[in-house]
């Protein structure tokens, strides 16, 4: 079965712009979680969606937002980009029964210049 | 503040060696501890531990949790070059089974 698909793989944006990242979960998975990974901070939880509802949110500013569609695909949006937003953004999908069932995508590498 | 600390941050060993990776945590209302392997980008799940003293094993990898001392170890025996990766430890807490608190990872390099 197809894995978790994240697009685009790489992205370069300038400060002040906004960006939308996409995540298509494994077929049948209803939970999608987003993480930011930076060398200094490691992996940090952004938010988790289940059946189109945000179920959990991490400690990120309001510039970071997301949504989930009825087909479980999820998008993450970052507005007014800052240099510090440069990171690998990982999406993980699961049936919704807990993180041991997570399957991660390969991520989107965002560089803000 | 909740935190997960992994040590060492990096480790270089030769093929065939045995390695032990450490993960200690200080979180409120601990629920479970998970180990992941990250080779290029996508972390892959290794183990989930919820009970103290019960070893989880998968081939040459094993892990155990000590809830009294608040740590876990991941052992890899007879290491191979394919074990080279970043090993991540994460903890879940309370009712939130879905929000993981991550350690910074241990970068393991296996030399042939």
Chain A residues with beta carbon closer than 8 angstroms to that of B42: 3-4, 90, 103-107
Residue B95 pLDDT > 70, yes or no?
A: no
What is the average pLDDT value for chain A, to the nearest integer?
Answer: 92
Residue A33 DSSP one-character state: E
End-to-end CA distance of chain A: 37
pLDDT average, residue stretch B30-58: 90
Alpha-carbon distance of A55 to A50, in angstroms, equals 6
pLDDT average, residue stretch B69-77: 96
Residue A101's pLDDT band (cuts 50, 70, 90):
confident
List A residues 22-81 in contact with B (Cβ-Cβ < 8 A): 31, 33, 35, 41-45, 48, 55-56, 58
pLDDT, one tens digit per residue, over A25-48 is 999 899 999 999 998 778 899 999
Residue A97's pLDDT band (cuts 50, 70, 90):
low
Alpha-carbon distance of A28 to A99, in angstroms, equals 16
Q: Is A11 helix (H, G, I), strand (E, B) or coil?
A: strand
Residue B33 pLDDT > 70, yes or no?
A: yes
pLDDT average, residue stretch A64-88: 97
Predicted local distance difference test score (pLDDT) of residue A98 = 65
* Better-predicted residue by pLDDT, A40 or A107: A107
Chain B residues with beta carbon closer than 8 angstroms to that of A97: 97
Q: Do residues A111 and A12 touch, judged by C-beta distance below 8 A?
A: yes
């Amino acid at each position: 079965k197809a894995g978790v698909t994240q697009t685009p793989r790489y992205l370069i944006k300038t400060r002040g712009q906004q960006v939308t990242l996409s995540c298509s979960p494994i077929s049948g998975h209803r939970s999608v979680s987003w993480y930011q990974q930076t060398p200094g901070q490691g992996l940090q939880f952004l938010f988790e969606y289940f059946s189109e509802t945000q179920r959990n949110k991490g400690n990120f500013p309001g510039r970071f937002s997301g949504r989930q569609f009825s087909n479980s695909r999820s998008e993450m949006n970052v507005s007014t980009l800052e240099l510090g937003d440069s990171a690998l953004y990982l999406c993980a999908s699961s049936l919704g029964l807990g993180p041991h069932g997570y399957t991660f995508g390969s991520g989107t590498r965002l560089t803000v210049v | 503040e909740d935190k997960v600390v992994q040590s060492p941050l990096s480790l270089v060993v030769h093929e065939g060696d045995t390695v032990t990776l450490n993960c200690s945590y200080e979180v409120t209302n601990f629920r479970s501890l998970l180990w992941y392997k990250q080779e290029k980008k996508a972390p892959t799940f290794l183990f989930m531990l919820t009970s103290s003293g019960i070893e989880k094993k998968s081939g040459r990898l094993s892990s155990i949790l000590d809830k009294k001392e608040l740590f876990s170890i991941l052992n890899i025996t007879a290491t191979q070059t394919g074990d080279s990766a970043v090993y991540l430890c994460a903890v879940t807490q309370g009712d939130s089974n879905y929000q993981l608190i991550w350690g910074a990872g241990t970068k393991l390099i296996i030399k042939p």
